[in-house]
Amino acid sequence: MAAVVFPNIVTGIYDYLIPGRLEGKVSPGTPVLVNLRKRELWGVTVGIKADSLCPSLKEVIDVQGGRWTDSGSTLMKLYEWVAEYYQCDLGRVFRPLMRKGLLHGADKTVQVFMPSPDAPVATLSEKNRAIWSKLQRLDSFSAAEAKELFGVSRSALNRLCGAQCLVRETRTVVREAFEPCMKRSNEKGTLTDEQRAAVDMIMKAHAAPQAPFLLHGITGSGKTHVYIELASRMLRLGKGVIILVPEIALTPQTIQRFGEAFGEVVTVIHSHMSDGERRDSLQELVTGRKRVVIGVRSAIMVPMEQVGLIIVDEEHDGNYKQSDCEPRYHARDVAVMRGRFQKALVVLGSATPSFESYHNAAAGKYRLVRLSQRFGAASLPQVELVDMREERRNNNWKPLSNRLAAAVASTIEAGRQVILLLNRRGFSTILLCKDCGYTAHCPNCTVTLRYHRADTALKCHVCGHFQQAPDCCPGCGGQNIKYKGTGIQKIEEFLHEMFPAARLLRMDRDSTRRKGAHAAILGKFAHHETDILLGTQMVAKGLDFPGVALVGVVAADTGLHLPDFRASERTFQLLTQVAGRAGRCDNLGKVIIQTYCPEDYALRCAAQHDYSTYFKQESENRRLLNYPPWGRLARIIVVGKVEAEVRSLITTIAQEIRAAAGNSLTLLGPSPAVLERVANQIRHTILLKSSHPRKLGTILRELRIRHHRLPPSIDLIIDVDPVNML
Ligand code: ADP
Ligand code: ZN
């Protein structure tokens, strides 16, 4: 009998009989087609049992071909751990992997034509013979290629098939979501001494991996080179490799480098791939035809046997945590567990490790490996902080300080490139009526609307609400509307005025909505068809352009004052990362950071490239407040349309937890969330802090079971190790 769970519809585990014809084809991990409440549905087998409490069982109808399980046990253990630790139904764990397409998709086939070796050419008409003489030079071709190369129509191909001059064949093709886009010069350089020492140290552990490795390598130290070397050695040992990256679109260079190093054996998994591409990629991994997978967080779940190495690149990145739907897992932490269950080496890499990981390394739970030198002649760029209060006192009200404006001008003059960062979308942040004080708010959320000049619209950056910008004040009808606050589009306009000859591209969520837009922008920058790349945090991620001599941060404080205990850490990481884009091939890199709080230690440490001082200082703050990495956090959010209902449920939950927990944890709240209303849903939260992870787990599990059946108007969310605090 098979115990089956469902990723999307119902919760719980259901039993099904395995009919004789499917005997031996169903094991833990196998997707099965079954009948549930009069519908045929795909579910996943999570166990095989001898008997069931249920008297009348239905039979499994079909199974997914290929081998979907890693000897049944190690991956099931991982999936169960995810469900248990992140407090969700076991079925939900399979959601990231199995969107609809995986289970419903069919093979994709194409028709190809081949010239037949003994074609009776003499029987052809003169016209057909002319066509034939062109086609016979090809080995095989599709109808589309015949059309494109020689203008030959499908009906002509059919005629030639009829005359037995061409052979038609149907082939299965593997759909791939991997499009090489940025050619790089071949860079099979030998490793530096430091890089080699890192590789050797990590590989020494491969026979019996114990602790995960934290690869702390400064920007430009060649972490990607180390990953590639490790992965090649693992492949030679016959093992598979999983490489996680925070976002695919933003890291085309990294993907490209892995693609070139491993060629045919790589497949890519990301969130914008089609269902067919996803199905084929997974199928290739399950069957072992592909041995390396590069992907975003969901790739940590892929069913793949004999994994020897798991790499988490930019391990500090918040994208590894899934916050908005179940399972609310952190792919970095799942990677560590997978490594343990599957006996694989785990390498977490970053120039700015997360507090949690660095703390684990300091405590001896992870092993620290350092790369402290930039590759080649390059050294870390010089960083200068510019105090914008001073600038304002000197009556410069422009968005760029005189210092930064002069540096931009001279950099372009010298034929080099500039990256400018402002982490704020839109043109203005707020619409204000000077007469009546009206400000434009989102009708669905507790945030102000942002003005987007290009489409003269006010937009909500939380729910996406969109409305025409008004001509007069909606409050008093007056004409005295002002747009305040500087967004990236305003800077773009300012730069065009200030540097009319400079070629400028903007990279933010608005300018990169189209598929391939990221790659197009980065491609232009790579070929030096652009002098200035202006962008949001997107430009801080992993870019490796030797032409960049200046990095400017227009406002370093944008994220510093958010009500989130990681605000300072994120600012430090963002500044260090973006600074790391400058001077990657020589000693001429320069970074200028504009700020209103130059005395803040996150900024000062970032300017000194001083991770360890920052870590010490910030650890102390976190320890005093028992925040991670010292204490464990879980966030409980109640979401619903009716405020009274939400308030009543969250109050009950708080009482229950207090009663159950005693003083084993601290409870903050209940209180309205920072974003109290999102898309017309009221949100109230409780934050739990505890130094006893076990106890916290038990309390959360009991809570979940007790409130298992809630009315549809209200939802209870449990977020373990939360990253989103708003
Ligand atoms: P990181 O990921 O640590 O920021 P990268 O792996 O992008 O660093 O390396 C920075 C630059 O140095 C890249 O252009 C890379 O090709 C080059 N590089 C690093 N190590 C080597 C090496 N051993 N041989 C040749 N080039 C290298
Ligand atoms: Zn909104």
How far is residue 499 CA from its own chain's centroid? 34
pLDDT for residue 104:
52
- Ligand 1 pocket member 711 (CB < 6 A): no
CB-CB contact of 559 with 571 (8 Å): yes
Architecture of domain 108-173: Orthogonal Bundle (1.10)
Nearest CA to ligand 1 atom 23: 191
Cβ neighbour number for residue 578 with a 10 Å cutoff: 27
Pick one of 3.40.1440.60, 3.90.550.10, 3.40.1180.10, 3.20.20.80 as the CATH number of 2-97: 3.40.1440.60
CB-CB contact of 267 with 178 (8 Å): yes
Angle at 489 between CA 484 and CA 492, to 5 degrees: 120
- Ligand 1 pocket member 370 (CB < 6 A): no
pTM above 0.85, yes or no: yes
Distance (Å, rounded) from C-alpha 58 to C-alpha 52?
A: 12
Domain regions of the chain by residue span: 2-97, 108-173, 193-371, 382-424+486-621, 632-720
- Ligand 1 pocket member 220 (CB < 6 A): yes
CA 381 to ligand 1 centroid distance, Å? 16
- Ligand 1 atom closest to the Cα of residue 371 is 3
Q: What ligand has the least distance to the C-alpha of 584?
A: 1
pLDDT for residue 513:
86
Residue among 182, 184, 186, 187 whose CB has most ligand 1 atoms within 8 A, to mutate:
187
- For ligand 2, a single-atom ion, the residues with CB < 5 A are 442, 444-445, 460, 462-463, 465
- Ligand 1 pocket member 191 (CB < 6 A): yes
Mean of all residue pLDDT scores within the chain = 89
Asked whether the CA dihedral 46, 50, 53, 57 is positive or negative, the reply is positive
Nearest CA to ligand 1 atom 4: 220
CA 442 to ligand 2 centroid distance, Å? 5
CA 680 to ligand 2 centroid distance, Å? 8
Q: What ligand has the least distance to the C-alpha of 462?
A: 2
Which of these, 668, 667, 685, lies nearest to 676 by C-alpha position? 685
Distance (Å, rounded) from C-alpha 505 to C-alpha 23?
A: 60
- Ligand 1 pocket member 222 (CB < 6 A): yes
- Ligand 1 atom closest to the Cα of residue 253 is 7
* Enclosing H/E stretch for 714: strand 714-720
Q: Is the peptide bond before 180 cis (omega within 30 degrees of 0)?
A: no
Asked whether the CA dihedral 310, 316, 319, 320 is positive or negative, the reply is positive
Residue 566 DSSP SS3: coil
CA 559 to ligand 2 centroid distance, Å? 20
The CA R_g of the chain, rounded to the nearest whole Å, is 29
CA 451 to ligand 2 centroid distance, Å? 13
- Ligand 1 pocket member 195 (CB < 6 A): yes
Helix count and strand count (H, E) for the chain = 20, 29
Low-confidence ranges of the chain (pLDDT < 50): 101, 180-181, 185-186
- Ligand 1 pocket member 223 (CB < 6 A): yes
CB hemisphere CA count around 378 (13 angstroms): 27
Q: What ligand has the least distance to the C-alpha of 679?
A: 2
Contacts of 6 (CB under 8 A, 6+ apart): 14, 36, 41, 43, 44, 91
- Ligand 1 pocket member 349 (CB < 6 A): no
Nearest CA to ligand 1 atom 5: 222
Residue among 192, 255, 544 whose CB has most ligand 1 atoms within 8 A, to mutate:
544
CA 542 to ligand 1 centroid distance, Å? 11
- Ligand 1 pocket member 544 (CB < 6 A): yes
CA 459 to ligand 1 centroid distance, Å? 40
- Ligand 1 atom closest to the Cα of residue 224 is 6
Distance (Å, rounded) from C-alpha 723 to C-alpha 321?
A: 7
CA 449 to ligand 2 centroid distance, Å? 8
Query: Distance of CA 664 to CAs 86, 374, 632, 692, 721, Å?
Result: 20, 46, 12, 7, 17
Nearest CA to ligand 1 atom 25: 189
Residue appearing with tokens 């001279």: 410
CA 189 to ligand 1 centroid distance, Å? 9
- Ligand 1 atom closest to the Cα of residue 184 is 16
Cβ neighbour number for residue 609 with a 10 Å cutoff: 19
Domain 382-424+486-621, CATH: 3.40.50.300
- Ligand 1 pocket member 375 (CB < 6 A): yes
DSSP label at residue 610: -
- Ligand 1 pocket member 564 (CB < 6 A): no
Distance (Å, rounded) from C-alpha 464 to C-alpha 484?
A: 20
Contacts of 210 (CB under 8 A, 6+ apart): none
Which of these, 326, 296, 359, 706, lies nearest to 541 by C-alpha position? 296
Residue among 224, 258, 609 whose CB has most ligand 1 atoms within 8 A, to mutate:
224
pLDDT for residue 126:
86
- Ligand 1 pocket member 588 (CB < 6 A): no
719 backbone φψ class: left, alpha, beta (φ>0; ψ -120 to 50):
beta
Nearest CA to ligand 1 atom 24: 189
Angle at 642 between CA 640 and CA 644, to 5 degrees: 110
CA 517 to ligand 1 centroid distance, Å? 25
Nearest CA to ligand 1 atom 15: 222
- Ligand 1 pocket member 598 (CB < 6 A): no
Q: What ligand has the least distance to the C-alpha of 448?
A: 2
Bridge partners of residue 683, in order along the sequence:
639
CB-CB contact of 278 with 101 (8 Å): yes
Cβ neighbour number for residue 272 with a 10 Å cutoff: 10
Domain 632-720, CATH: 3.30.70.360
CA 210 to ligand 1 centroid distance, Å? 28
How far is residue 493 CA from its own chain's centroid? 30
- Ligand 1 pocket member 192 (CB < 6 A): yes
Architecture of domain 193-371: 3-Layer(aba) Sandwich (3.40)
- Ligand 1 pocket member 430 (CB < 6 A): no
CA 232 to ligand 2 centroid distance, Å? 47
Q: What ligand has the least distance to the C-alpha of 447?
A: 2
Two domains, one topology: 193-371 and 382-424+486-621? yes
- Ligand 1 pocket member 640 (CB < 6 A): no
- Ligand 1 pocket member 187 (CB < 6 A): yes
- Ligand 1 pocket member 225 (CB < 6 A): yes
Angle at 231 between CA 380 and CA 582, to 5 degrees: 15
